[in-house]
A and B are shown apart, each in its own frame.
Chain A
């Protein structure tokens, strides 16, 4: 009995002595996984024509990254979560919409370990296109011009329709509402600027003629007119144009439409004409600036819902993020929504890639192949026209184009129309 007693005591002592050793040994359950940081962001054009847009985009990306880091959720309406051991960080630089700067910035951020990279505008995207493709770097971009970028598809991904598809959707919408027997007469009224001219492609002409339009011609206006483009507008009038398809940014579209109204041109004015604009003339910017009378009847395709449309989950999310992180400094520019979509796409690509590869082994190619190109029906809460899908042959994320019209000072959604994929060959 005594022997058993001593054996028991000895074993207890051994166990007591051994316990700290067991505790000190790394066990699978007790050791937290190593922490990793992944970067999102890229080039921003905080200087130049797109400064205001880029600032809103940047604010959205920073807010979304903070949200994901804090909650590990992808969005309030999504059930997927972001890995606990991975922290996101926003890396960005002001490229001033200058292609030389854009190139050195890209090299710098790539060297820092970015696996995804945003390009801020069409010009920088065009210039970086081959570099991005060589590095197989997935690049969701604010660019939507240059059908050239999509033919053949490379690694620049659009988050909204390209301009030619925007205008094709307007043409479709207009034709559905056309009641006269004759063929409607259409003309281009576009900015004398590379993205403005990107809509002037034979494929666009052919599409318009194939659906029954009579193509009249083209008028160019300055990107930001220093005097009203009266001559160009009167040319539309003299040629009895029914629909003007335009690419303009707001500083260009506002004075142009103002002058058109002065000349009695508009949907409800003496000379009946509809101005259909591609996304850079976002109605949520255009309508408040112009007012009900001047904006009446103007149509914009490929844009986002207005920021006061809180019934749309994505817009409510925009509002909630800002209420959470900077309630006294709310960004009211519609490009905040674009930034949020861009951030969602970048983070989703990283998340999907991490499902296939260990985070420490990820390369841009992995994020492109297992991330971006695996994005299928990414729900943006109604911010984009449709959920986003990408694959190696499909870099235009949406499947349909949202068309809105300004009516009585309100932005009224007219519906969505399918993409026509009007790429320059």
Chain B
């Protein structure tokens, strides 16, 4: 953990602390207060965007653990989200389970399916693993569509909203709080996970799996663990998404979402908890910008000018980051912090 000039660690505890100085704590507290105060001064529209961003952050954290830290590239993340989503939807809608019981089951189900599709990861990697995870997405979608009597097939499934002690999370503000709390817990867990033995093993596998194995890292178990944890996050995000819409349909989990989640990691910075947040926030806000700019561009240039603008812009941003800042926004943020730490001395 970098510290401002003149501040030194004096114990292992201090060295390990995520938030080390009073300024860190004050900033964190101010940021959390700001987040929790959002429903007081933001419109339903902004709260909807923030809620969707929150759900995306949870999902991207999972992909970051799997891909960013462990190096197992997955393009089946939307499929794993669908597993969690439908588990939760079926348990609450068909079996009248409480959301609070269905949520961990959704996470577990997605994790188990992730384990299953993670099994080939010991033998295959890179391009072949990508193909395997793409297959996972389509197999999951196929199964959901075939199980018509359980999942509603193409017609989808109406899902009840979360409820606690008679209070229904129906308003935009209440659901925002629910997502915010889970996103904060997810971020805290992700940040700490990579500081554990498992996290260090993930990084070792990502950097050089042969070297990691030689050092005694059990490749299969740690790769599977990464798949499991990554998919648990996806399952939670999927569950939150369908309960937010109060409806579950396979169209909520298109294959392209998996691609954009990977894009978020590229833009935010792979292998960084902050990167997952930066990536999700920036690409989702870009989405909103494009949505607003589209009609203006269409009126000014040509009616067709807005068509596919979202795809073009997202693609362009990812390419720009790959060329000019492959370490993502998280690296930029590190540079800003480094500048602050060294101030008033320059590099």
Contacts and interface: CB of A to CB of B under 8 A. Distances in A.
Interface in A304-320: none
B310 A194 contact: no
A21 to B, nearest CB: 46
Contact of B145 (A107, A108, A197): A197
A127 B155 contact: no
Contact of B303 (A59, A99, A104): A59
B292 A111 contact: no
A363 interface: no
B152 to A, nearest CB: 7
Contact of B48 (A103, A146, A147, A193): A103
Contacts of B130: none
Interface stretch (B96-104, B195-203, B250-258): B250-258
21 contacts: A46-B306, A51-B307, A93-B291, A100-B52, A100-B252, A101-B287, A103-B48, A104-B291, A107-B49, A108-B291, A111-B44, A126-B249, A127-B251, A146-B156, A148-B152, A194-B145, A196-B154, A197-B145, A197-B148, A197-B153, A200-B148
Contacts of B241: 100
A94 B246 contact: no
B245 interface: yes
Given A59-B303, A93-B291, A129-B247, A104 B308 contact: no
A130 B45 contact: no
A378 to B, nearest CB: 27
A273 B75 CA distance: 42
Interface string B287-316: 110111011000000011011111100000
A47 B307 contact: yes
Most chain-B Cβ atoms within 10 A of its Cβ — which of A58, A94, A97, A111? Answer: A94
Nearest to A96: B310
Contacts of A98: 254
A47 B310 contact: yes
Contacts of A359: none
A192 B287 contact: no
Contacts of B172: 107
Given A94-B306, A103-B48, A111-B44, A146 B252 contact: no
Interface string A53-78: 00100110000000000000000000
Interface in A173-201: 192-198, 200
Contact of B252 (A47, A111, A127): A127
B318 interface: no
Contacts of B295: 91-93
Contacts of A58: 303
A193 B153 CA distance: 10
Interface in B223-245: 241, 245
Nearest to B56: A100
A101 B290 CA distance: 11
A105 interface: yes
Nearest to A199: B154
Contact of A194 (B154, B245, B246, B307): B154
Most chain-A Cβ atoms within 10 A of its Cβ — which of B44, B158, B246, B251? Answer: B251
Interface string B89-120: 00000000000000000000000000000000
Interface string B9-49: 00000000000000000000000000000000001110011
Most chain-A Cβ atoms within 10 A of its Cβ — which of B45, B152, B308? Answer: B45
A195 B249 CA distance: 11
Most chain-A Cβ atoms within 10 A of its Cβ — which of B245, B246, B252, B304? Answer: B245
A94 B310 contact: yes
B169 to A, nearest CB: 13
Contacts of A129: 247
A195 B251 CA distance: 11
Q: What is the predominant secondary structure among interface residues of chain B facing chain A?
A: helix
B45 A111 contact: yes
Contacts of A193: 154
Interface residues of A, number: 46
A424 interface: yes
B247 A192 contact: no
Interface in B151-197: 152-156, 158, 172
Interface of A: 46-47, 51, 55, 58-59, 91-101, 103-105, 107-108, 110-111, 123-124, 126-131, 145-148, 192-198, 200, 329, 424
A146 B157 CA distance: 11
Contacts of A126: 155-156, 247, 249, 251
Contact of A93 (B43, B49, B156, B294): B294
Contact of A46 (B43, B148, B249, B308): B308
Given A98-B254, A107-B49, A129-B247, 18 more contacts: A47-B308, A94-B290, A94-B291, A94-B309, A97-B251, A99-B251, A100-B241, A101-B287, A101-B310, A105-B291, A107-B43, A107-B48, A111-B43, A126-B247, A127-B245, A130-B247, A194-B250, A200-B153
Nearest to A201: B155
Nearest to B305: A46
A94 B309 CA distance: 9
Given A127-B249, A148-B155, A104 B307 contact: no
A103 B252 CA distance: 11
B45 A107 contact: yes
A110 B155 CA distance: 26
Contacts of A424: 155
Contacts of A104: 45, 48-49, 52, 288, 291
Nearest to A148: B155
Contacts of B311: 47, 96
A196 B295 CA distance: 31
Nearest to B170: A134
Nearest to B172: A107
A104 B306 CA distance: 18
A380 B168 CA distance: 43
Contact of B52 (A47, A103, A108, A128): A103
A379 B43 CA distance: 39
Contact of A99 (B152, B158, B245): B245
Contacts of A96: 310-311
A198 B309 CA distance: 30
Nearest to B294: A94
Going nearest first, the 8 A-B pairs with the smallest beta carbon separation are A194-B154, A123-B251, A197-B154, A107-B45, A148-B155, A46-B307, A107-B48, A130-B246
B252 A99 contact: yes
A304 to B, nearest CB: 21
A48 to B, nearest CB: 8
A136 to B, nearest CB: 15
A422 B157 CA distance: 19
Contacts of B152: 148
Contacts of B294: 46, 93-94
A195 B247 CA distance: 16
